Structure 1
């Protein structure tokens, strides 16, 4: 029987878990493939998850 347990990590609210995007620049390499840039989510740094609010560091 399934058990309801709280998740230790949450999905990032900025990227919805899709932490890396590949952006085509429009140019082609010499072998015919597209040149792409890989960009990580700035909020979760490419992990797709965030720590729960109770574990977040607070203070000065």
Structure 2
């Protein structure tokens, strides 16, 4: 528990979202990004490059 708090504090300057994702969470989020262009919600998105970097360049 203490190590997790220390890791969170250390990541605050690098992570604008204020959290460190677990591997399972990151895998689910990455899968959603990969599958989204094939979904009906992306019907009007054409020729766009998606940057997936955990909010590092936002």
Q: Tell me the TM-score normalised to structure 2 length.
A: 0.23
Higher helix proportion: 2
Higher strand proportion: 1
Q: Tell me the TM-score normalised to structure 1 length.
A: 0.23
